[in-house]
Amino acid sequence: MPVEHYAQFGVAFAFQSTVAMLADLGFSSSILALAGTRATDPEVIGRYLRSARHFRRILVGVVGLVFAVAFPLITAGQPWGFAAKAWILASILTAVVVQGWSMYQAPLLAHRMIGHLYQPQIAVGFIRLGLSALLHLAHVLTGVGASWLSTLALAVNGGWMRYSARRLVSEPPRPDPVANREMLRYLAPLMPGVVFSAFQSQIQIAIIIYFGTTQNIAEVTALGRLGQIFGILVAFNSVIVGPYIAALPATRLRGRYIIILFGSFLVAGCLSVIAFALPSPLLWLIGPRYANLGPEVGWVVLASSVSYVGGVMWTMHASRKWVFWWGTVLYITLLLAAQIGGAVWLDLSSTRGVVLFGVVTAFATLGVHIFTALYGFLFRQPNPYL
């Protein structure tokens, strides 16, 4: 895509990710945790799923209205025209609505129906890639078109999950008040952090929209796609690592935790070294228009690597219910301090400055996870040797 259209797609993707997190606030991911060992019971998981849908419906209305007003204001400085901005906003809001269907992956995961969950997503991904290639060859692929292809892919995937899970779930006609209260109690310590993360996760795009040019937006977006290298590994966390750690007895936790963490460090370290030493293959992936970004490639992969390690730790901590109010406060405080420092010392009107800003925030987040791990093992984990 031309630089301007790629910048539009990057903005659409960033907004879509932020709005999706704010419209969910962890309700979807709480379904399996709350159902626990009863997750294969259609009535039990249906009760929690119905409560999650109830809360998400309210959030979609509120968050959608806020962002419908905020989007034109934030993008006012970009010369893309009213029609393009309106179509992008429509794709974002539509994506957030259909993304709610993906919460039906919970019963599929509970029954270990991994094929029903991921095979359609792979097929839809290849179809989307093929359509994008055809539009590109026809010279009609635009930022608006790419954002709508992404939205349609989410709709198809979510619709398939809902259809596949229909026999595994028995939802009550109205939300269960007891399940509602249980869900809110579980998520209360996490919600401030989720809200903060929703904005922090796309802070690089937000900064470059405000300080930079369309060229800078396109460059940051292109570099950000390199983080998808870790996509399969991140999915592995939620499907394999989380349930495995949750089921471990206390006597085996420490050893398995260290092995998994060491493995994640090894993978992340190797990818980072390769990115710094041989950026050319990764530059080829993002296209010839960004061939000048070789020095930035290594830093982007390093930030993604650090975030991946932190994600592995978070998955293990959440599986052991190491979720604390002070952890959320520490997370927000430390990241704000890191971001303020980055804003003072880095040139945020340049692509390099925004990329380094991402590295700083990634290490700050990892520091919170390390502190949580130490606290969990020292004060929340029984000593198996006593």
The average pLDDT across 109-116 equals 79
> What are 36-62's pLDDT values in tens digits?
778 888 998 899 999 999 999 999 999
pTM of the model: 0.67
Tell me how far apart the alpha carbons of residues 196 and 194 are, in angstroms, rounded to a whole number: 5
Provide the angle, in degrees to the nearest 10, between the axes of the packed helices 351-375 and 294-319.
20
pLDDT beyond 90 at 226: no
> What are 298-335's pLDDT values in tens digits?
999 999 999 999 999 988 987 787 878 888 889 889 98
The average pLDDT across 275-297 equals 85
CB 95 within 8 A of CB 154: yes
**Domain positions in the chain:** 1-187, 189-386
**Per-residue 3-state assignment (H helix, E strand, C coil) for 96-140:** HHHHHHHHHHHHHHHCCCHHHHHHHHHHHHHHHHHHHHHHHHCCC
pLDDT band at 209 (very low <50, low <70, confident <90, very high): low
pLDDT at 381: 62
Tell me how far apart the alpha carbons of residues 220 and 354 are, in angstroms, rounded to a whole number: 8
Selection from 202, 213, 228 nearest residue 351 by Cα:
213
DSSP assignment letter at 39: T
CB 85 within 8 A of CB 114: no
pLDDT band at 384 (very low <50, low <70, confident <90, very high): very low
The fraction of the chain above a pLDDT of 90, given in percent, is 21
Query: Cα torsion at 310, 304, 26, 56 (round to 10°)?
Result: 180
Please spell the DSSP secondary structure of 295-326, one letter per residue.
HHHHHHHHHHHHHHHHHHHHHHHHHTT---HH
pLDDT at 358: 87
Tell me how far apart the alpha carbons of residues 194 and 245 are, in angstroms, rounded to a whole number: 22
CB 79 within 8 A of CB 7: no
Q: Average pLDDT over the chain, rounded to whole?
A: 84
The average pLDDT across 63-80 equals 82
pLDDT band at 385 (very low <50, low <70, confident <90, very high): very low
Taking the alpha carbons of 332, 338, 342, 345 in that order, is the dihedral positive or negative? positive
Tell me how far apart the alpha carbons of residues 98 and 156 are, in angstroms, rounded to a whole number: 9
pLDDT at 271: 92
Q: Which residue has the higher pLDDT, 346 or 370?
A: 370
pLDDT band at 383 (very low <50, low <70, confident <90, very high): very low
Tell me how far apart the alpha carbons of residues 46 and 172 are, in angstroms, rounded to a whole number: 7
pLDDT beyond 60 at 249: yes
Please spell the DSSP secondary structure of 180-221, one letter per residue.
HHHHHHHHTTTHHHHHHHHHHTTHHHHHHHHHS-HHHHHHHH
pLDDT beyond 60 at 365: yes
